[in-house]
Structure 1
Amino acid sequence: MALGSAADFRFAMRNLYLYHLKTLVALSTIVVFGTAYSVVYNTYLDTSNPLLTHLPHPLHKSHYFASKSNILNVLFIKKLWGWTSAAFLALYLTSPARLQTRERVYTFLAETVMWLLFTGWFFGPSLLDRLTYSTGGECLVHLPSGALVTVPSELCYTKSTVSAATHPDLFAASLTPLADDWRQVPRLRRGHDVSGHMFLLTMSMLFLAEQVSHSIRMHAAGGAQEMSAVHKWVVLGNMVIILLGYLACYTTTVYFHTPFEKITGFLLGLAGYAVTHTSLFRTILRAKPRQS
């Protein structure tokens, strides 16, 4: 059923509600359990502490997912919006014609904008970087001697590489001469370091669950014959990505960030996703293109 009227749109939203609720309950349960576990068993690393964040996780030798180099983190979490985009595009392009609506494309574009604003650019630094800086964050460089040097915040925002050769004034007071080949990209530390992973995992999993639900509802309503074999495999692939997202949420809440940073990341992810369910966004979707 195409969403061609306000009544159709409201009907679709009511049908999607249960799918959203199930995904939200699953994510909330994982976040609460993982965070509680990390507190009770002291398994989390305070990533905003500049004295700790550059060190391996204390449990990295005995707990595979406590290592930042684990395959789930390197190939999945750090490239999550790429996986999300590929999963959505494959799902959309293989969907039956009546599921290829402009509303779904606009929703994807809106979520992509949220991803960019929170993690990439918001008239300069991203929203997450601005939040860290506004709560006491500092742009820091960790020297080989163990000393911390505060540098201008612009170097963190631009992710510039610094060295004694490129920025001699920054290290003039260093008691230990720096090697000629030493270089480092400054990082924002201290302040409230919202879990960007939790933000993106929450938003991505809710978005993909919504998109998959279109195909599930159509199949349940007897429209399976309209779906190609390729589309059914793509739906399965999307479900695998969602399950990996659940696992990534669990490992993040157990091993990284303070409890409050994980919770705020989760809540901001909900907010980023909820943008596509605001009255303003729905009004835009219901607006018919002008006829030339």
Structure 2
Amino acid sequence: MSTIAFSSVKLYLGAISLVLSVGTLYSVVNSTYLDTSDPLLAHLPHPLQSTDYFANKANPLNTVFIKNAWGWTSGAFALLYATSSARTQSWNRLLQYVVATLAWLAFTSWFFGPPLIERVIVASGGQCVVVVPGSGEIIDVPFEHCYTRSPLSPATHPTLFASLTSDFTPPNPWSARPRLRKGHDVSGHIFLLTMSILFLADQLTHSWRSPTRWSLPHTLAVNANAALIAIWMLATCATALYFHTPLEKFSGFLLGVAAFGLTQLPPLSSPRAVTEPIPCKDD
């Protein structure tokens, strides 16, 4: 990694650390964060959603951007790469994207079975649970139901609901998808936002170092990437303020940095184009 690339990544790494630290400290001092691993709280609306815009999970920042974060990041990278000059396009950059995508899949979707984040929850004492509406009673169910994300109901799985102690009967028809709770719920949002910011910042260094004048499409692509990084910073701040415990946010940050680090291993880290002075002709 060149000096300017390393400096750029360090700058954004410091910015993420600052935003996350200040936001987390504020959330602890003012009790604004929701413990998403608590089965009695995780399914409820955030207590501050009526007064704090970003505490409401239905806000566009969450539903449009964060929920599709890697899709947005992928699109931004594709636009940046496609409009780059030929000398800054390389297989190394494409392989870096592939590695980052595989890291995203491994942590959030699939890793020879359950994703790594779910494995962490289970290993740290998590349980697969269903919260019964009305009574709020929690039913422990086998882990495979969380892994398959299959809906459960008294009609389809009567034995699982036979342990209900209250007289409350769920409405019919009713079903719910079980969720992993009670363990260490690594913040997947912080993980992905951290990796996305660092990845895009690193890719932008190819443009900053290019000796070729930017075309109009590439100028727009650079601005779009910078704007998306700003959105991811805002999303990081919102998550730090309102969701997950401090330790869960910190672990998500470390995993995001580690995932980005995979893209910087020697076989993948490509040299940046270096600006060279244009020689002058003698009179």
Alignment partner, residue 9 of structure 1? none
Deviations 1:198-242, CA, capped at 9 Å, x for gaps? 000000000011111211222xx4x22xx2201110110111100
Q: Deviations over 1:71-123 (max 9, x none)?
A: 10110011000000111011111111111111100000000000000000011
Distance change in 2, residues 1:36/1:205 (3 Å): same
Counterpart check, 1:104 vs 2:96? no
Partner Cα distance (2:121, 2:48) in 1: 26
2:231 counterpart of 1:239 = no
Question: How far has the Cα of 1:279 moved from its partner?
Answer: 4.0
SS of structure 2 residue aligned to 1:260: helix
Cα-to-partner distance string for 1:226-285 (whole Å, 9 max, x where unaligned): x22011101101111000000000000010000010111001100010011234655xx7
Matched with 1:146 is 136
The one of 260, 263, 282 equivalent to 1:276 is: 263
Check conservation: 2:92, 2:268, Cα contact below 8 A.
no
Partner residue in 2 for 1:254: 241
Pick from 205, 210, 213: which aligns with 1:213? Answer: 205
TM-score (norm 2): 0.92
1:1-292 matches, cutoff 5 A? 12-144=1-133, 145-174=135-164, 175-218=167-210, 221=211, 223-224=212-213, 227-279=214-266, 281-282=268-269
Matches of 2:132 and 2:30, distance apart in 1: 31
Task: Work out the percentage of aligned pairs sharing the same amino acid.
Answer: 49
Flag the structure with higher helix content: 1
Q: SS in structure 2 opposite 1:277?
A: coil
How far, CA to CA, are the matches of 1:126 and 1:280 in structure 2?
A: 26
CA distance in 2, matches of 1:13, 1:114: 23
Which consecutive unaligned segments of at least 5 residues does structure 2 have?
272-283
Supply the AA of the counterpart residue of 1:250. Answer: C
Two-structure CA RMSD over aligned residues (Å) = 1.4
Between the aligned partners of 2:88 and 2:155, the Cα distance in structure 1 is 57
Is the contact between residue 139 and residue 163 of structure 2 (CA under 8 Å) also seen in structure 1? no
Question: For this pair of structures, how many residues does the alignment match?
Answer: 268
1:3 match: none
- Are residues 109 and 103 of structure 1, via their aligned partners in 2, closer, same or farther at CA, if it must alter by over 3 Å? same
Q: Give secondary structure in 2 for the equivalent of 1:141.
A: strand
| Structure 2 partner of 1:4 | none
Letter in 2 for 1:70: N
* Deviation sequence 1:184-208 (CA, Å, 0-9, x none): 1111000100100000000000001
How high is the TM-score relative to the length of structure 1?
A: 0.89
Paired residue secondary structure (1:171): coil
- What letter matches 2:205 in structure 1? S
Residue identity opposite 1:109 in structure 2: V
State the distance in 2 between where 1:117 and 1:188 align: 17
- AA paired with 1:264? S
Is the contact between residue 37 and residue 185 of structure 2 (CA under 8 Å) also seen in structure 1?
yes
Post-superposition offset of 1:179: 2.4
8 Å contact 2:95–2:268 — kept in the other structure? no
Give 1:112's aligned amino acid. Answer: T
C-alpha separation in 1, matches of 2:63 and 2:107: 20
2:276 corresponds in structure 1 to none
Distance of 1:268 and 1:58 partners within structure 2: 28
CA distance in 2, matches of 1:171, 1:201: 38
